[in-house]
Structure 1
């Protein structure tokens, strides 16, 4: 462990060639909300807006040739790609970055900007597994160095510098550190460093509900592949936690891992954007989202790591929609509307004063006796929609609430 701590200190010192320590900011809004001393470690404010630059830089500084050079390869659709690209340009190394064909143009362009002429982007594969296989085959053919996003000692060591900065900036050991988990590199590094330097600090981990690979591994006693992963929290949607990160995290209990529903994460993202002016990607909001699930935080000093802020604002309508559904202030119904004069008026009379029709679409326009109508209703108070549902039940209208029906919502909404 002494060797690990010393290595992290060297990594942190070297990082200062790239950027100053990211801010550790006390958040008055969250502190008042939870009756605690809540601090945010703003990894969304690195040059590439995520902590991934730390690990990529640390691995590359050990592998790059003296005076620059070397050929590095990664497979990523997001933050790791940008970190590798930035580090390649810094070291004068060559980088080949494999990204799925389905990667949004915005992410491709940002990666190219960070890497400049030092990197080449290869778009291949519809799914990440195909992209990863292509990258590894390329490495074997060209003799290039593959940089894992989380499952390598140097990557973990680089991510651990987050923990070093937290201690230095806070000036004391926090009571609790809340860490988001994807592949596990950040959590493995920070927990190992703080276990040595601040042994009184406890940890809580946040995973997306649709990608709880650490929780599954702790339950099984070894890393396991999840049968399916919800890709919404793309920065942490990992089917199998890394082998090396799990070695460092195996001492924890599955009860230390808290799951964040994807729709609730959207609420947290909007809360931070609207209240604090902080732009977080879904994975970056994970640690904040689970604060309400933790044991009594009253009076405790809590550090939550905001791991990234690479949010594409084209996704904002989807985030708002999912947040409204979680809050219970928006619902979608398929209504069986009688094809007779006055039927629409009868339905409108059921609406309350705060019920707003956000969507109205006939699904079967040729029906002779009844027509199916997709209706979206927004309101400001969840109780309004509960009352509307009760009125519908007593009205004689046949309807189906499809708000939480994933298949029908995807097809119709």
Structure 2
């Protein structure tokens, strides 16, 4: 595909194809509250504390499907499949009467975000329709694929973004009209976000969305592992069929810009003292006896001038910056664009993890990826490990690299707000 640029894709290209589906949704009469059965996406749940909290919020919380708990993966996945069948048979989850696209709104005091949830036809990165920007971990893709096979369902939508022209036409017009109607559901979750959902079933409005989206490409903002899972499972099933599509939320960032945050690292079995001893020959190290908020301000200032990270876990913060040019020359691959070579995530993975701390980036026993800043520090202090706090990368850098076909190191960014899991699911019936 040949696209002219953000919000300016050529109309002749076959772009995004979002189709209606019959959503699975909780019956409000069968659960304590809609808020109590929702969850953040599976990879944002802080385990084990957040997992236990969600499980206790309501016996039907969606976390029992997206993060089933048992002794082995096979048993866990079968448990999720059995739970899903039970909830369907008991009427806890019900199937909407007709296929729909779903307008989804999230809001708090500072933000209003609206998008469309639907089943997106899958495409390969080479097609230029859906652009990934991060590498994935094979063991996570295998885990998600096994769960989707067992349940035959898309349990939570990916978050994709596209760039409209800012006008209230096409998809944007349908979204705004829907938001003026009575919603299917409305709830406020404990993080302070309000959520509303509307069904779009009118053939004229569905056609309006279809014609608009075919001119656009999308960036994967959140859900690279689930997208890779969709592609793997499509290859395993006959086509045409339901596995040719995957559940997504599409947000027009020309109208609703997302927040971009960092994803932090928790290094198990590496005390802060050992981490600092190994890094001190290669980085400037400054010890900060300040609260977390002030430490993050110092990180932002340092990151504006070059690569910088905060280490924590011993009751203080340690700002490391100004990496040795010799270290970077020896460790960072030179066959990528400069924008990639100078990313904090690139320097962290190529220089620090691999060469300084000798930690495999795909080993769950050695490293965890956590979205919540305070939780990362608290877990490091409790477990005796090292928290590596990151500064977020700018969205335009992410999009530019994705358009060049260059993927960033895994877990480089956290776009949000992310869709709440549990508001609408998609069953796959071959």
Structure with more contact order per residue of length (Cα contacts < 8 Å, sep ≥ 6): 2
Of structures 1 and 2, the larger Rg is shown by: 1
TM beyond 0.5: no
Larger helix fraction of residues:
1
Q: TM-score, normalised by structure 1?
A: 0.30
